[in-house]
């Protein structure tokens, strides 16, 4: 059996640190956000054009940008939600990047590490909402139609900033009708929490022994089916969210060598490196990809 080959289609060097990249729905364009060396943020829109990558639009923001999502945007509006290093959540209209933002709120004290969004283009899955996780340890859910105040605020009981854990990953799920919805949160100490947003209570929690870098349900708009969690030191956990034991929690499998390099002879070797991201294929939820700190990209079936 021939080995799998991943061929680079287009490569482009940039003069800033890229923190997030998102395809613009229903187009051949994507947006890249990040931070310039002088501490300002940058948003660039690129378009695929016959084997080339054309820069369509670029704008610079006051603060470095960390994460973004189109999940709460309708297909025709192209509203990008971004979180920055100052703790501000902003929604920009990509057609008018230099104009005032569509929505803006001071969401966290310090950097917004992660965000996720839902409800923009999916039918019968509830209101459009954005969830953010910050360095201050809190997780907040925002409705772009409601200014200033979050619709849900999940914060640590310890009011001492030194005792709070960074929230590194958040993800929506179980939004299979207009009222049901959960959010999964991952923290730097390995805590994994599942919050029921309908009843505003903790539904399940566990600890995976390493900082959680990414969480994602296989699909957000169905009943909870599968949850993928990646961690520091090469950890990958996949939970069966339809099989729950009263004491042991959800059934799961664990892969320990995800962050290690794959040699030319097919042998996995090297130090354990962070698995920074995990993403499911929209067309087939049984397929997902992981990106490791050693530079490897793996596709899982």
Dihedral angle at the C-alpha atoms of 59, 141, 191, 239, nearest 10 degrees?
Answer: -90
* pLDDT range class, residue 226, cuts 50, 70, 90: very high
Mean pLDDT of 218-232: 96
- How sure is the predictor about 1, in pLDDT bands with cuts at 50, 70 and 90? very low
Residue 266 pLDDT: 64
For residue 261, being part of any structural domain is answered with no
DSSP state of 38: T
Q: Rounded to two decimals, what is the model's pTM?
A: 0.93
* Within-domain flag for 270: no
Q: Domain range spanning residue 153? A: 17-224
Judge contact between 69 and 130, C-beta under 8 A.
yes
Is 230 part of a structural domain of the chain? no
Return contacts of 53-62, CB within 8 angstroms, 24+ apart. Answer: 53/10, 53/12, 56/29, 57/94, 57/97, 59/97, 59/98, 60/36
Cα 51 from Cα 151, distance rounded (Å): 44
Which pair of structure tokens corresponds to residue 162?
A: 């030194």
217-250 in b/e form (b: 16+ CB < 10 A) is bbbbbeebebbbbbbbbbbbbbbebeeeeeeeeb
- Higher model confidence: residue 256 or residue 175? 175
Within-domain flag for 100:
yes
Q: How many domains does the chain have?
A: 1
Q: What is the full DSSP assignment across 137-200?
A: S-EEEE-TTS-SS-SEEE--S---GGGPPPEEEEEEE---SSS--EEEEEETTSEEEEEETTTT
In a domain? residue 86: yes
In the chain, pLDDT over 70 holds for what percent of residues?
A: 97
Residue 245 belongs to a domain: no
Query: Between 112 and 265, where is the model more confident?
Result: 112
- Torsion 63-64-67-73 (CA) sign: positive
Q: What is the pLDDT of residue 105?
A: 97
Angle 111-114-116 (CA atoms, 0-180°, nearest 5)? 140
Closest CA to 23 of 32, 14, 13: 32
Structure tokens at 181: 């919805």
pLDDT of residue 129: 96
pLDDT band for position 265 (cuts 50, 70, 90): low
Domain assignment present for 282: no
DSSP 287: E
Q: Answer yes or no: is pLDDT of 162 > 90.
A: no
196 domain residue, yes or no? yes
118-138 pLDDT, tens digit each: 987 776 788 999 999 999 999
| Token duo for residue 197 | 């947003």
pLDDT tens digit string along 144-161? Answer: 999 889 999 999 887 777
Greatest CA span in the chain, whole angstroms?
A: 57
CATH number of the CATH domain containing 99: 2.130.10.10
Query: Mean pLDDT over residues 161-167, rounded?
Result: 85
């Amino acid at each position: 059996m021939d080995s799998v080959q991943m061929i680079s289609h287009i490569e482009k060097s940039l003069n800033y640190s890229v923190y997030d990249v998102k395809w613009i729905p229903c187009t051949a364009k994507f947006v890249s956000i990040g931070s310039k060396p002088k501490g300002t943020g940058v948003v660039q829109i690129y378009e695929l054009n016959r084997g080339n990558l054309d820069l369509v639009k670029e704008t610079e923001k006051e603060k470095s940008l960390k994460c973004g999502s189109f999940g709460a945007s309708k297909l025709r509006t192209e509203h990008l939600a971004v979180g920055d290093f100052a703790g501000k959540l902003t929604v920009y209209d990509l057609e008018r990047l230099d104009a005032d933002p569509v929505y803006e709120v001071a969401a966290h004290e310090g950097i917004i590490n992660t965000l996720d969004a839902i409800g923009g283009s999916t039918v019968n899955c509830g209101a459009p909402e954005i969830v953010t996780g910050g360095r201050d340890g809190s997780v907040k859910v925002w409705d772009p139609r409601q200014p200033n105040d979050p619709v849900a605020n999940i914060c640590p009981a310890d009011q001492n900033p030194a005792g709070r854990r960074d929230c590194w990953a958040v993800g929506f799920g179980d939004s299979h009708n207009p009222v049901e919805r959960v959010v999964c949160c991952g923290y730097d100490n390995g805590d994994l929490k599942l919050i029921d947003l309908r009843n505003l209570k903790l539904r399940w929690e566990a600890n995976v022994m390493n900082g959680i870098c990414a969480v994602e349900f296989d699909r957000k708009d169905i009943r909870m089916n599968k949850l993928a969690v990646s961690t520091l030191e090469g950890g990958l956990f996949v939970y069966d969210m339809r099989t729950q034991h009263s004491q042991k929690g959800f059934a799961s499998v664990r892969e320990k060598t995800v962050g290690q390099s794959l040699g030319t002879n097919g042998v996995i070797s090297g130090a354990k490196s962070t698995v920074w991201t995990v993403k499911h294929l929209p067309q087939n939820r049984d397929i997902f990809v992981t990106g490791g700190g050693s530079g490897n990209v793996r596709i899982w079936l």
